[in-house]
Chain A
Amino acid sequence: MFLFRLALKNLLRSKRRTLLASAAVVVGIFYLVVGQAFIGGFEESIIRGATDATLGHVALQPKDYPDEPLTFPLDELLAPDEATLSWLNEQKAWTSRLNFQVTLVHEGESLRAQGIAFDPATDSKVFSRATWTSDGEEPKTAADGIFVGHMLAKNLELEKGQSVVLQVRTEAGAINAMPVPVAGILSSGNPMLDAMAIFLTKDLAKELVRTEGVNAINVLLSDRDDVDEAVAELAPIAETAGMDIITWVEETAELLALQQLRRTMLNVLVGMLLLMSSMAIANTILMAAHERVREIGTLRAMGLSRRGVLGLFLAEGSLMGAVAGLAGAAPGAFIAWKYSIEPIDFGKLMEDQAQAGAAISFSSFVYTEFSVPIVVVPLVISFFVALVASIYPAITASAMEPADAVRAE
């Protein structure tokens, strides 16, 4: 214990030098904690963008259904058989939707959009409304009209209570158009939906598209990580019924791979910072060893063994790493915690891309990931980086001959 106290006092004798050597560790660990928290948060928002807004955990769709934006052919709709319905009813929740292409016409302006016809009784059990805010009420019946994404509404200068003409091709291929009231303007927290989608009940869709069919069945599992087991059960049923299965894992794979790349880049950057800081720490401890030769000799004369001197200098280095790690991790942890309970809305930043037609289907409300490993792992890393950096200086100090060291100038 006294060695630890002595190590602490030794570090404080050259505060400025200790501070400078620790600075890179502080910055590196701060970046690591905040970076991992945000990357983790973005990953979660990508996943939630799929699970909460467009897909659920598992979805069924017609075989070989195209995945281009705003392309929703109605020539092949789903016809779930008994086996499919039986499986669906065993799951936590499920709903079905009809996605179709629609053109909104308002005061001489027209815009293409995605119509999403939903079942008011079951849709919210699968698709969370937690991030939804709206001016107006979500439609419950055909008479209520439609919910319009706020960016789409802005482009058409549409407001709640106004009427808009919806123009579609029916299931049979005929052109149909009808005026509907705007029940509300929706901010869903998903830029793709806000820029391109209208929501309406299936009853209204039946009048408009002239079909009761659906082209998406969306399922919520008890645990989203059970997706492989669900697919294993569902695959033969879906094959028989002529349906394709999509999971949130496949749907988010590309974006998550990009996030993984970012994570790797962050780790490389932080690794370089820590490498630099390890050199600074090694240099600082080595300088301390050379400046304190007589003290080392005195401690040796008083009975401190070589191993004791080694321990003293390793303690100084690792203490420096631990304190610097704490100094970087503490504000990082605070930021990670703060935005894990109150999300940052990146919606404004994503508006331009969403309006340009980019299929950005992830929640613009980003909650950072805040967990024990996010804070503790960087702390352990900083401790060990400093410990390893101190090994050479500590060996140098412990190898000094006491008879020479004790009389050094």
Chain B
Amino acid sequence: MPICEVKNVTKTYGEGVAQVHAVNDVSLVIDNGEFTAFVGPSGSGKTTLLNQIGCLDRPTGGQVLIDGVSTDNLGDKALSVLRADKIGFIFQSFNLIPVLTALENVELALQLSGTGGGREKAAKLLADVGLAGMEDRRPNQLSGGQQQRVAVARALVKEPSLIIADEPTANLDSESGENALQLMKDLNERLGVTFLFSTHDQLVMDHAKRIVVLKDGKVVEDKVGAGAATGAV
């Protein structure tokens, strides 16, 4: 069963002559365990499409299904619960809460999703991503790579069906980026967690098992399997 289905999704901004189709009639099926990258030039609609899939935004037309559940008619509370339970996010700027420690940031995801495990589970996840002993550090006491690892642990701790990573390596140096990507790939292969990326990073494209190329809000190419990155934008 696919984790996510995108059916003829359109996202339009503005009206009349100023109208822009950020996503234009896109249909996709994302299966469990995929490690998929959305690529394309700036303005191609990668982030907008991820917003629709991540239920951060509502499409103007079409339908998004998460785990077989249509998100069309869900209210704010139901969408919030869906995000809390099934979707983890990793952002380009890490988006950690600055007043919370690394451990508290990870624990926060558990609190919001109502998942059990608490502090011990959060600490174990931090250890899994190589941050044992850094639990009590605030984000400003961590390097960019370490912050992104906390963000990965935070996204993963509630055991979501889908993790959406928006340009996760863009703010990291090449070594940290490589490490973070390796970590995510390892989690994908070991735990079967589904990852969806938007990226310009060739490194991410090299590791992706599937690449969806977007241009002007439309899918222009959808390549699956080894060597998917060949010819990607």
Contacts and interface: CB of A to CB of B under 8 A. Distances in A.
Interface of A: 2, 6, 9-10, 12-13, 294-295, 297-308, 401-403, 406-407
B211 interface: no
Given A297-B95, A300-B83, A302-B108, 12 more contacts: A6-B108, A294-B93, A299-B97, A301-B95, A302-B154, A303-B83, A307-B77, A402-B56, A402-B57, A406-B56, A406-B95, A407-B92
Nearest to A409: B93
Given A9-B99, A13-B99, A301 B93 contact: no
Contacts of A299: 97, 112
B56 A303 contact: no
Interface of B: 47, 51, 54, 56-57, 76-77, 80-81, 83-85, 89, 91-93, 95, 97-100, 107-109, 111-113, 154, 166
Nearest to B86: A303
Given A303-B83, A303-B85, A306-B76, A2 B95 contact: no
A51 B183 CA distance: 84
Contact of A302 (B47, B51, B84): B84
Contact of A10 (B57, B84, B93, B99): B99
Contact of B80 (A305, A401, A407): A305
B76 A403 contact: no
Contact of B109 (A10, A294, A302, A407): A302
Task: Specify the main secondary structure of chain B where it touches its partner.
Answer: helix
B97 A298 contact: yes
A308 B80 contact: yes
Nearest to A308: B80
A294 B107 CA distance: 19
A307 B77 CA distance: 8
A406 B109 CA distance: 16
Contacts of B154: 302
Contacts of A403: 51, 56-57
Contacts of A9: 99-100
Contacts of A295: 95, 97-98
Given A6-B100, A402-B56, A302 B112 contact: yes
A302 B99 contact: no
A301 B97 contact: no
Contacts of B51: 403
A326 B202 CA distance: 57
Contacts of A6: 97, 99-100, 108
10 contacts: A2-B108, A2-B111, A13-B99, A298-B91, A300-B80, A302-B108, A302-B109, A303-B81, A303-B112, A304-B80
B113 A303 contact: yes
Contacts of B111: 2
A16 to B, nearest CB: 16
A302 B89 contact: yes
B136 to A, nearest CB: 14
Contacts of B98: 13, 295
A308 B112 CA distance: 10
B144 to A, nearest CB: 16
A165 to B, nearest CB: 83
A304 B113 CA distance: 9
Given A9-B99, A13-B98, A301-B56, A406 B80 contact: no
A226 to B, nearest CB: 58
B116 to A, nearest CB: 14
B77 A304 contact: no
Contacts of A303: 80-81, 83-85, 109, 112-113
